[in-house]
Amino acid sequence: MKKQISTLGLTATLALAIGGSLFLAGNSVAEKAVPLPPAAYEQPAATSGAQTAIFAGGCFWGVQAVFQHTKGVINAVSGYAGGDKATANYGAVTRGTTGHAEAVEITYDPAQVSYAKLLQIYFSVAHDPTQLNRQGPDRGTQYRSAIFYKDAQQKEVAQRYIAQLDAARAFPAKIVTQLAPLAAFHPAEAYHQDYATRNPQSPYIVTFDAPKIVNLKAVMPEVFRDKPVLVAARK
């Protein structure tokens, strides 16, 4: 079932904050970060103005939180991509038949962080790109690994980086991330926004998402920001 973990399960995998780092006692179920090389190819820098990227990688709570803690990100919104507007709601998407993936729209300043760097974070920290239609405890096509590119440049950067990582055997299995043109992005319901920040004691967040933030700081400290940029702060 979607985003379910019992309090008993949390006790078995209790998260302990020790010296600023997070460790899972007992059987660790959180995804481990994979240190990755930067992309060998980057798209030409935008002349000016904010840009957007759309990534899907399992539950959007954790993906959103990772990019909210990334320097150069202006906003990160949880939502749905890949299906029709009529079915872009949580009740429909959780059935796994709408074509939507839980996704995050990242608005960023290309003068501070590049699209290629966002891809590096996405593959290294935000999710496991070798899992097909699942992430952690969540199962279904709505949890697939997918990059929704907005133009040919984004597509090329993503394609080349995936090929680079596969050629280097950066992961123990082949990357299964779907590349798809962005038709539309639909923001999720308000209660999904900033979920990890607003619910730090949630068993799901503690077990599956909080470790991603620790991983970002540990693996890519140069892009880590301690205070997240929140959707609520922009309203």
Question: What confidence tens digit (pLDDT) does each residue in 204-231 have?
Answer: 999 999 999 999 999 999 999 999 999 9
Residue 49 inside a domain? The answer is yes
Which residues are marked as active site? 59
Question: What confidence tens digit (pLDDT) does each residue in 144-185 have?
Answer: 999 999 999 999 999 999 999 999 999 999 999 999 999 999
Phi-psi domain of 140 (left: phi exceeds 0; alpha: psi -120 through 50; beta: other):
left
Residue 75 inside a domain? The answer is yes
Pairing of β 145-149 and β 51-57: antiparallel
Question: What confidence tens digit (pLDDT) does each residue in 70-113 have?
Answer: 999 999 999 999 999 999 999 999 999 999 999 999 999 999 99
User: To which H or E segment does residue 139 belong?
Assistant: strand 138-139
Q: Could you tell me the pTM of the whole model?
A: 0.89
Residue 146 inside a domain? The answer is yes
Domain coverage including residue 133: 7-31+45-220
Q: Is the pLDDT score of 1 beyond 80?
A: no
| Tokens found for residue 135 | 């992430």
Counts of helices then strands in the chain (DSSP H, E): 8, 10
Residue 122 inside a domain? The answer is yes
**Cα–Cα distance between 23 and 15 in angstroms, integer?**
6
Residue 181: what pLDDT?
98
Residue 235 inside a domain? The answer is no
Residue 229 inside a domain? The answer is no
Residue 93 inside a domain? The answer is yes
Residue 105 inside a domain? The answer is yes
**Cα–Cα distance between 109 and 48 in angstroms, integer?**
9
User: What total number of domains does the chain contain?
Assistant: 1
Cβ burial, residue 10 (10 Å; 0-12/13-18/19+): middle
Q: Is residue 67 within 8 Å of residue 76, measured between CB atoms?
A: yes
Q: Supply the CATH number for residue 157's domain.
A: 3.30.1060.10
